[in-house]
Amino acid sequence: MNPEYIISVASALSVFFIASVEDIREREVSNVLWIFLGTIGFALLAAGIYDGSFGVPRPAMAVLPLPLFLFADMFVDWDALVKGRGQILRYSLLSISAALAVVSALPYIGSASMDILLSIPLWTGFIFLLYKLDVVKGGADAKALVSLCILFPLYPSTLIGRGSQFLTALTFPPFLSVLMMGAVFSLAVPVALFFSNASRGRVRMPHMVIGRMKPVDAVDTGKEWLMEFAGPAGEPSRVKRLGSMDDEAELQKIREIGWKTVWVSPKIPFIIPLTAGLLFVLVLGNPILLL
């Protein structure tokens, strides 16, 4: 087991476990964690290119400013950094880094290692698109996936000794496997809620698969969404979209009306199933290959 593998796996697991704890407690994850993880990823990439272990010549290191810029762009407020000229600086740096990447990569396009290296900024853009389309819900989740994209451009050697081919990593990279398995593990929540509600005789759809009934005085709007609000006559009406109203104000209103219980949906941080997905991929590799 090489040192790079140990560093990347130890860093990823440490950061994701800390992020999970932060998300459970505060429903917010510090950017410092993802900046640290991304920095480790870039350092390992640069070292791999420099010593030849990544399989591309040293001039290919000029590709790295592009994914580095895209990663930094997730954290930098350009207008605050350079008042009045933030966007000019932003797009100037993007243009320069993209030009460097194209010029340095052209002689080597077609080699497996170079294609993997060039896929990093492309997949970073794909993650950003998923975030904008609200497929990836939180900013922390998007930053976590980009960090993994940089840290694991290839599937690492797994604990059971199974690796993956370049083509697999290029078409279905590790971060995508983590995202897929995270989505699979997150399905455990509605299943658990369904059986818990069914055992208590609380049969109501879709409430019983996405929420639970709680005493009004025990509701914490920082960790739960209201699934009901008071209608014109004070009757329970279903919220059309979770988080679409001021839950704290509505909670106060239903307290005043005299409701004893209300349906709520827990705010389950997606970082937790992503961490489970990361563990799965590190141990078993690409889940598609296991089918």
Across the chain, mean pLDDT equals 85
The pLDDT, as a whole number, for residue 158 is 54
Residue 97: closest CA among 64, 57, 61, 119: 64
pLDDT interval class at 284 (50, 70, 90) = confident
CB 216 within 8 A of CB 262: yes
Task: Pick 255 or 233 by higher pLDDT.
Answer: 255
Name the domain count of the chain.
1
The pLDDT, as a whole number, for residue 245 is 66
Distance CA 288, CA 291 (A): 6
In a domain, 256, yes or no: no
How buried is 180 (Cβ within 10 angstroms: 0-12 exposed, 13-18 middle, 19+ buried)? middle
- Per cent of the chain over pLDDT 90 is 31
Q: State yes or no: pLDDT of 242 exceeds 80.
A: no
CB 138 within 8 A of CB 260: no
Q: State yes or no: pLDDT of 164 exceeds 60.
A: no
Q: Which residue has the tokens 């199933």?
A: 273
DSSP state of 62: G
In a domain, 11, yes or no: yes
Global pTM exceeds 0.85: no
Contacts of 100 (CB under 8 A, 6+ apart): 62, 63, 65, 66
How many CB atoms within 10 Å of residue 52?
10
Distance CA 37, CA 257 (A): 49
Distance CA 104, CA 123 (A): 19
DSSP state of 258: T
In a domain, 74, yes or no: yes
In a domain, 228, yes or no: no
Q: State yes or no: pLDDT of 22 exceeds 70.
A: yes
In a domain, 115, yes or no: yes
**Least confident among 92-106, 198-212, 225-239, 261-275:** 225-239
Domain that holds residue 71: 3-159
Q: Which of 9-23, 194-208, 230-244 has the highest mean pLDDT?
A: 9-23
Task: Pick 138 or 15 by higher pLDDT.
Answer: 15
Contacts of 61 (CB under 8 A, 6+ apart): 46, 49, 50, 104
In a domain, 181, yes or no: no
Averaged pLDDT for residues 41-45:
93
The pLDDT, as a whole number, for residue 260 is 81
In a domain, 251, yes or no: no
Contacts of 147 (CB under 8 A, 6+ apart): 15, 34, 37, 38, 41, 71
Residue 151: closest CA among 63, 14, 64, 44: 44
**Least confident among 105-109, 122-126, 219-223, 234-238:** 234-238
Tens digit of pLDDT for each residue in 177-205? 999 999 999 888 888 888 888 888 888 88
Q: DSSP for 118-182? A: HHHHHHHHHHHHHHHTTSS--HHHHHHHHHHHHH-SSPPPPTTS----HHHHHHS-HHHHHHHHH
Tens digit of pLDDT for each residue in 79-135? 888 887 888 898 999 999 999 988 888 888 778 888 888 899 999 989 988 888 877
The pLDDT, as a whole number, for residue 209 is 86
In a domain, 106, yes or no: yes
The pLDDT, as a whole number, for residue 161 is 46
**Least confident among 60-74, 82-96, 151-165:** 151-165
Q: State yes or no: pLDDT of 14 exceeds 90.
A: yes
The pLDDT, as a whole number, for residue 267 is 81
